[in-house]
Amino acid sequence: MSHIFEALQKSEAERSRSHQSPSMPAELLRAAERDTETMPTEQSEADLDHFPSLKVTPLPNSKLLSLTDTESLAAEKFRFFGVRLRQLQQLRAFKKVLITSTIPEEGKSMISANLAVILARKKRQRVLLLEGDLRRPVLPVRFGLGKIEGLSEWLQGESRSLPNIYRLEGLNLWLLPAGRAPENPLEMMQSSRLAGLMDQLANWFDWILIDSPPVLPLADTSVWMRMADGVILVAREGVTEKRELKRGLEVLEPSKLLGVVLNSSSETDHSNYYQRYAPQPAGASKDPTSLLE
């Protein structure tokens, strides 16, 4: 994750032409957060009071470092990631961000969940984490919620009532899980109901992060990509091969690609710097970036 800023390198280039970069990373983070705190929201918070609340109890192996280990280098990386994404939103209009990968096991769901937690910490920003992988749902387990109904049950039902969205207590974050894996996920996703739902969700939330299936083995991601405003591709060091990454980039719409996040980076050049300024919990790993594997 040492290369997490590559996901938004275009944003940094544009800002560097009009702002002088602070010399210290901590100063850069504070300055950028001040810039994004003034972003207005258009939706009424009363619109979201209808959704039930759930208590979050993440498991020790959930890898929700932005929630369970906020002083770690990994959590700091995600904070910078969130700042860069908010800065980019000021330069171009988008709110529905698709997070995908080329193949399974590259960490897209982990990155989606941590990024959603970070973005939701802005009190005036309403964030929805949408689990678009109907074949292999994992987000409810990651947040310790157990089995709950979600998008698949709503798409299969005849009712036009509110979708199965849950507010995660204490996080200012909403979750639309995938629900039970259906037999015909692609057919369900191509329903006009899903397109109409996404338009409604865009009226309610400031951010919609879509955790989608990998782009190469399945056609599901192409459906989500048509509905998304921007795409972030996740690659994993030691797992993603160069040819797979190239093929994945060719499948994505170039105009929507925000960038690439490198997960599990072996480069730890910044770890010593960070350890001088942040307390380390007992038994913490000597290599903070390894927590994001």
Q: Which domains does the chain have, with CATH numbers?
A: 4-28+60-292 (3.40.50.300)
Using one digit for the tens of pLDDT, what is the confidence trace for 4-56?
445 444 444 444 444 444 444 455 555 544 544 443 344 445 468 789 999 99
Cβ atoms of 207 and 97 within 8 Å: the answer is yes
Strand partners, 232: 99, 259
Is the CB of residue 143 less than 8 Å from the CB of residue 62?
yes
DSSP type of residue 97: E
* Mean pLDDT in order along the chain per 10 residues (293 residues): 48 46 48 45 58 90 89 90 90 92 88 95 88 92 92 83 90 94 86 89 94 84 92 86 86 89 67 40 39 32
Its pTM surpasses 0.95:
no
How far is it, in rounded angstroms, from Cα 185 to Cα 153?
Answer: 11
| CA dist., res. 110 & res. 88, Å (int) | 22
Nearest to 194 by CA among 221, 214, 171, 223: 223
Q: Is the dihedral of CA 10, 13, 17, 19 positive or negative?
A: positive
- What's the pLDDT at 14? 47
Instruction: With beta carbons less than 8 A apart as the criterion, state whether 221 and 100 touch.
Output: yes
R_g (Cα) of the chain, nearest Å: 18
